[in-house]
């Protein structure tokens, strides 16, 4: 048999470990990543001319970051690595990639999608003012460019990343005005049994919160965001919330970092026509996979946060598991012992994930209470009121129908950022469960594609 054609999309922790396992079995996979360098999101490598040390860049994760980078460096002549290459479509068992405005179609026998996650966002009135960033963007600004998003910053949302990025900002010397968490503290206590599946990670998290408080930054839990106040000229000026007792409080700032945990990047899985299922705990649609990452489509595998958000350590495990699934399906040998061990480790991470979902729930009720004038879809500037109108006045109770009538999800981001909140607004207005609203169909290209692109000449 000729060498099977195996393509990995993503050179983050899952993609790198996947490649490593495949190479160890004698295969030569192609690794595609839209970034300039490997490392993915969490272990993003700094530009060549930057020289910040690992400890400074990655903190407690420095060892893991360095190990991943070194592993990939050692693989470089054993894989075909295509950086700055976007996978923009999948059709007929071919992955379509574009690099320097040249598009090529790459046939595959196995495709492993390790596409990672992006911020999950819940709109709040005023979030369109300049100075509102996602947590991810705030972190990237710091990690890749060593700059802060503002002089005085409010962190708003929920989830572990809220505390992580806030403390990274504090460490970098930025002025953090407050950390405002929508999840009530009680939820964390209730989630403890599940969170104890990974005691060291839990301790790490508790340490972060303590550190933020020690720095004198107010940390409020169980809050309800009311409004980001600002002006179209000068941008964000303050954040208004209701605290857990119901009192309104305002925090001066010139920037807001906002996020409600993460959502997997699933457009490629969608374009590959993988089946999706609705997950109640996190109120979102996820690709259907077996324990090792096999999707519903033969030859298509998923690993890491692009499958479901299990975090960086689990992404490394998931990458290995998916590679072993590929090897098994290609009738190559895998170690059963190793497989069982990885599965067991992944299972404890899955338990931890459920703990996180319980501790830091997606605040669906906020979408329901969003004032009519608040913008839901930032790309198209569509308000909650306009979206409700197509539900109640035009009978659009399904996500794609509401998109067709209102344009919510029709902009540059194609619903990746507004899709979840939009579905909640629709569900509430229609009085149906959110799973009944369905999900926006994925349409190519995965990211905007330049019209100057040309097909590769054979």
Partner 1 sequence: MNAHRADVVIVGGGIMGAATAFFLRKRGVSVILLERGLIGQQASGVNFGNTRRMGRPVEQLPLSNRSRESWLKFKELFGEDVELLLNGQLRVGFTPAHEERMAKYAQEAQDFGLGMQMLSANALHERFPYLGPELTAGCYAPYEGHANPRLAAPAIGRAAVREGAQVFENTEIVRVEKEGEDFRVTAADGRIFRAPVALITAGAWGNRISAKFGEPVPMIAKAPQMCVTEPVPYAIGPTTGALADAPEQSVYFRQVARGNIIIGGGGHELVDLDNRRAYVNPSRTLLTLKNAPRVMPAFNHLSIIRVWSGIEGYMEDSRPVMGPSARVPGLYYAFGFSGEGFQLGPGVGDVMAELIHTGATTTPIEHYHIGRFAKLAAQPA
Ligand X SMILES: Cc1cc2nc3c(=O)[nH]c(=O)nc-3n(C[C@H](O)[C@H](O)[C@H](O)COP(=O)(O)OP(=O)(O)OC[C@H]3O[C@@H](n4cnc5c(N)ncnc54)[C@H](O)[C@@H]3O)c2cc1C
Strand partners, 287: 276
Residues in 60-89 that interact with partner 1 by CB under 8 A: 88-89
Q: Is 40 in the site for ligand X (CB under 6 A)?
A: yes
The CB-of-391 to partner 1 minimum distance in angstroms stands at: 13
29 binds, among ligand X, partner 1, none (CB under 5 to 8 A by kind): none
Q: Is 159 in the site for ligand X (CB under 6 A)?
A: no
Q: Is 258 in the site for ligand X (CB under 6 A)?
A: no
Q: Is 452 in the site for partner 1 (CB under 8 A)?
A: yes
Q: Is 164 in the site for ligand X (CB under 6 A)?
A: yes
440 binds, among partner 1, ligand X, none (CB under 5 to 8 A by kind): none
Question: Looking at beta carbons only, is 36 or 441 nearer to partner 1?
Answer: 441
Distance (Å, rounded) from C-alpha 402 to C-alpha 170?
42
Piece of 303-311, 331-339, 422-430, 434-442 that binds ligand X (CB under 6 A):
303-311
Print the binding letters for residues 425-454 with ligand X: x by CB under 6 A, - otherwise. Answer: ---------------------x--------
For residue 80, give the nearest of 20, 32, 17 by alpha carbon. Answer: 32
Q: Both tokens of residue 163? A: 């505390």
Cα–Cα distances in angstroms (integers) from residue 429 to residues 124, 370, 385, 396, 437, in the given order: 17, 11, 10, 10, 11
Cα–Cα distances in angstroms (integers) from residue 382 to residues 79, 229, 259, 276, 372, in the given order: 45, 19, 20, 27, 10
Distance (Å, rounded) from C-alpha 66 to C-alpha 89?
32
Residues in 83-122 that interact with partner 1 by CB under 8 A: 88-89, 91-92, 96, 103, 105
244 in Cβ contact with 221 (< 8 Å): yes
Q: Both tokens of residue 47? A: 């530009």
Residues in 191-220 that interact with partner 1 by CB under 8 A: none
309 in Cβ contact with 260 (< 8 Å): no
Q: Both tokens of residue 321? A: 């598991």
> b/e per residue, 140-159, with b = 16+ CB within 10 A?
bbbbbeeebbbebbbbbbbb
Contacting residue, 21, 41, 158, 295, with ligand X by CB under 6 A: 41
Distance (Å, rounded) from C-alpha 72 to C-alpha 80?
12
> b/e per residue, 169-181, with b = 16+ CB within 10 A?
bbeeebebbbbbb
Q: Is 10 in the site for ligand X (CB under 6 A)?
A: yes
The CB-of-42 to ligand X minimum distance in angstroms stands at: 3
Contacting residue, 19, 65, 90, 114, with ligand X by CB under 6 A: 114
Q: Is 287 in the site for ligand X (CB under 6 A)?
A: no
The CB-of-272 to partner 1 minimum distance in angstroms stands at: 12
Number of residues that bind ligand X (CB under 6 A): 36
Piece of 11-19, 194-202, 209-217, 441-449 that binds partner 1 (CB under 8 A):
441-449
> b/e per residue, 329-348, with b = 16+ CB within 10 A?
beeeebeeeebeebeebbee
443 binds, among ligand X, partner 1, none (CB under 5 to 8 A by kind): partner 1
Residues in 256-295 that interact with partner 1 by CB under 8 A: none
Residue 25 has a CB neighbour count (10 Å cut-off) of 15
Strand partners, 294: 301
Residue 389 has a CB neighbour count (10 Å cut-off) of 16
Residues 6+ apart with CB under 8 A from 204: 60
The CB-of-71 to partner 1 minimum distance in angstroms stands at: 33
The CB-of-271 to partner 1 minimum distance in angstroms stands at: 10
Strand partners, 231: 235
For residue 380, give the nearest of 328, 436, 419 by alpha carbon. Answer: 419
The CB-of-37 to partner 1 minimum distance in angstroms stands at: 24
Question: Looking at beta carbons only, is 102 or 172 nearer to partner 1?
Answer: 102
Question: Looking at beta carbons only, is 234 or 443 nearer to partner 1?
Answer: 443
Q: Is 394 in the site for partner 1 (CB under 8 A)?
A: yes
Contacting residue, 410, 432, 435, 436, with partner 1 by CB under 8 A: 410
Contacting residue, 48, 51, 173, 451, with partner 1 by CB under 8 A: 451
Q: Is 138 in the site for ligand X (CB under 6 A)?
A: no
Distance (Å, rounded) from C-alpha 28 to C-alpha 8?
11
Residue identified by tokens 């990237």 is 140
Question: Looking at beta carbons only, is 13 or 363 nearer to ligand X?
Answer: 13
Main-chain phi, psi angles of 223, to 5 degrees: -85, 165
Q: Is 448 in the site for partner 1 (CB under 8 A)?
A: yes
Given the rule CB under 6 A, which residues bind ligand X? 9-15, 32-35, 40-42, 86-87, 114-119, 136, 139, 161, 164, 262, 265, 268, 304-306, 311-312, 315, 446
**Which residues are at the interface with partner 1 (CB under 8 A)?**
88-89, 91-92, 96, 103, 105, 380, 394-395, 398, 401, 404-405, 407, 410-412, 414, 443-445, 448-455
């Amino acid at each position: 048999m000729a060498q099977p054609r195996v393509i990995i999309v993503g050179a983050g922790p899952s993609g790198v470990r996947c490649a490593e396992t495949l190479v160890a079995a004698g295969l030569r996979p192609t690794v595609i990543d839209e970034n300039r360098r490997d490392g993915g999101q969490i272990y993003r490598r700094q530009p060549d001319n930057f020289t910040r040390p690992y400890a400074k860049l990655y903190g407690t994760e420095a060892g893991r970051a360095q190990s991943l980078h070194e592993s990939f460096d050692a693989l470089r002549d054993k894989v075909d690595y295509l950086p700055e290459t976007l996978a923009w479509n999948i059709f007929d068992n071919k992955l379509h990639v574009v690099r320097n405005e040249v598009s090529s179609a790459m046939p595959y026998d196995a495709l492993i999608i390790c596409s990672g996650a992006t911020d999950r966002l819940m709109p709040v009135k005023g979030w369109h003012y300049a100075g509102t960033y996602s947590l991810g963007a705030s972190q990237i600004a710091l990690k890749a460019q060593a700059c802060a998003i503002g002089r005085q910053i409010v962190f708003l949302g929920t989830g572990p990343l809220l505390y992580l990025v806030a403390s990274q900002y504090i460490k970098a010397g930025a002025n953090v005005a407050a950390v405002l968490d929508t999840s009530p503290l009680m939820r964390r206590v209730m989630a403890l049994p599940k969170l104890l599946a990974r005691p060291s990670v839990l301790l790490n998290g508790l340490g972060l919160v303590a550190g933020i408080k020690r720095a004198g930054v107010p940390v409020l839990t169980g809050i309800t965001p009311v409004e980001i106040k600002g002006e179209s000229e000068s941008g964000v000026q303050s954040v208004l919330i209701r605290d857990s007792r119901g009192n309104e409080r305002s925090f001066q700032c010139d920037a807001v970092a906002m996020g409600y945990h993460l959502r997997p990047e699933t457009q490629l899985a969608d374009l590959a026509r993988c089946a999706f299922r609705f997950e109640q705990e996190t109120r979102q649609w996820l690709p259907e996979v077996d324990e090792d990452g096999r999707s519903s489509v033969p030859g298509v595998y998923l690993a890491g946060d692009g499958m479901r958000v299990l975090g960086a350590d689990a992404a490394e495990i998931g990458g290995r598991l998916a590679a072993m699934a590929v090897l098994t399906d290609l009738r190559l040998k895998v170690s059963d012992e190793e497989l069982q061990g990885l599965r067991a480790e992944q299972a404890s991470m899955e338990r931890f994930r459920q703990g996180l979902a319980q501790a830091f729930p997606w605040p669906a009720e906020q979408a329901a209470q969003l004032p009519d004038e608040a913008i839901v879809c930032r790309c198209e500037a569509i308000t909650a009121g306009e979206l409700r109108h197509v539900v109640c006045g035009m009978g659009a109770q399904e996500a794609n129908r509401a998109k067709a009538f209102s344009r919510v999800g029709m902009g540059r981001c194609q619903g990746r950022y507004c899709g979840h909140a939009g579905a909640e607004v629709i569900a509430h207005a229609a009085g149906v469960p959110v799973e009944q609203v369905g999900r926006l169909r994925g349409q190519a290209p995965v990211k905007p594609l330049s019209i100057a692109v040309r097909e590769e000449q054979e």
